[in-house]
């Protein structure tokens, strides 16, 4: 079974530029998560999708971050304009359903550096 | 809101010996899940072990076991017979048990700050 795919693996941009990350979850997984992991910290949830609907985006900086999940499968996370403090690893995870005993499977992450 | 605290930024162990990583959490919920994840330099987050709060028996997965103290809100990970491949960042995480039936924060994982484990040959 293929795992969660993410691209790109690395991205370097200058502040005020825009960037987009892509995630392809495990086939059949209804729930998709985007986490932000700042160096030396644990991941923090940015947004959670159930199929193509948002169920939790309370920690998403909506003035600069946006995310969508097309047709309930792939997802894109965008930052525009980027700030220095956005430098982090962006992890995508998916699970069959949310909560309960369903395990979240993580992708390899995208390391973003904002200069 | 739930919080997870890992008070050991770094730990080290000799190969073949045993090491224990500590984790405490705070919650007002009675039913929840606790996890230990391993994150090697490749950044891939890997589930090590899971504990369901309503189960009194401590979870065990091969060389990995937990000491779950619900009243003390403590959840430590013991790694026996440590191997070089165990070297990684370890995260403790919390998740509410309220899934599809309700709750506003179901599904998401709340992570601690992590503990870097070094294994010496």
Given a cut of 70, is residue B100 above it in pLDDT? Answer: no
Identify the CA nearest to A92 among candidates A61, A50, A46, A55: A46
pLDDT in tens, B40-99: 988 889 999 999 998 889 999 999 999 999 999 999 999 999 999 999 999 999 998 865
Q: Taking a C-beta distance cutoff of 8 angstroms, is the pair B33, B52 a contact?
A: yes
- Say if A53 is an interface residue toward chain B (CB within 8 Å): no
Share of chain B above pLDDT 70, in %: 93
> Which residues on A lie below 8 Å from B111 (Cβ)?
42-44
Assigned token pair, B33: 């899940």
- Say if B79 is an interface residue toward chain A (CB within 8 Å): no
């Amino acid at each position: 079974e293929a795992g969660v795919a993410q691209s790109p693996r690395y991205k370097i941009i200058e502040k005020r530029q825009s960037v987009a990350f892509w995630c392809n979850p495990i086939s059949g997984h209804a729930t998709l998560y985007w986490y932000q992991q700042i160096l030396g910290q644990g991941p923090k949830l940015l947004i959670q999708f159930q199929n193509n609907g948002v169920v939790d985006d309370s920690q998403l900086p909506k003035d600069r971050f946006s995310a969508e999940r097309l047709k309930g499968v792939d997802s894109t996370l965008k930052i525009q304009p980027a700030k220095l403090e956005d430098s982090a690893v962006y992890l995508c995870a998916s699970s069959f359903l949310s909560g309960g005993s369903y395990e979240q499977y993580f992708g390899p992450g995208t390391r973003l550096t904002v200069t | 809101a739930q919080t997870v605290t890992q008070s050991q930024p770094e730990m080290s162990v000799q190969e073949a010996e045993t090491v224990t990583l500590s984790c405490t959490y705070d919650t007002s919920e009675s039913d929840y899940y606790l996890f230990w994840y391993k994150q090697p330099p490749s950044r891939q987050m890997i589930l090590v072990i899971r504990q369901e709060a309503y189960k009194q028996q401590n979870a065990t997965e091969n060389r990995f076991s937990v000491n779950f103290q619900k009243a003390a809100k403590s959840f430590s990970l013991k790694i026996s017979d440590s191997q070089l491949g165990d070297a990684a960042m370890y995260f403790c995480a919390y998740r509410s048990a309220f899934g599809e039936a309700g709750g506003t924060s179901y599904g998401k994982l709340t992570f601690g700050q992590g503990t870097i484990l070094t294994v010496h040959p």
